[in-house]
Amino acid sequence: MKSRDWGRVMFGNSHFDRVREIFADQFEQDANGFRYRRGMKGAAYRVSEAERDQFVATFNKRLRYASWAIAPATIILILLLAWLIPDSDGELAKGAIWGGVAAILIPFLAIYYWAWNAPARELQRRTPESAALTREEARSLAFSKITYGQLGLAAAFGVGLVWMKSVDEDVFHGWGMIWLVSGVGLVALSVVQAIRKWRHGQQ
Taking the whole predicted model, whether its pTM rises above 0.85 is answered as no
**Would you state the pLDDT for residue 8?**
40
Residues 100 and 39 in one domain: yes
First to last CA, the chain: 46
Walk along the chain (203 residues) in steps of 10 and give the mean pLDDT of each run: 41 70 90 87 91 95 85 77 66 72 83 92 90 73 76 89 85 82 90 82 71
- From residue 166, alpha-carbon distances to 158, 171, 175 in Å are 12, 6, 12
**Would you state the pLDDT for residue 50?**
93
Show which of 102, 133, 164 is a domain's final residue: 133
**Would you state the pLDDT for residue 11?**
43
Residues 81 and 154 in one domain: no
Please tell me whether residue 27 adopts helix, strand or coil conformation.
strand
d(CA 47, CA 24): 13
Residues 25 and 87 in one domain: yes
**Would you state the pLDDT for residue 149?**
86
71-130 confidence digits (pLDDT tens): 777 787 777 776 766 666 666 666 777 777 788 788 888 889 999 999 999 998 899 988
State the Rg of the chain over Cα.
21
Structural domain range at position 184: 146-203
Residues 111 and 171 in one domain: no
The reply to whether 41 falls in a domain is yes
The reply to whether 141 falls in a domain is no
**Would you state the pLDDT for residue 53?**
95
**Would you state the pLDDT for residue 92?**
66
**Would you state the pLDDT for residue 89?**
62
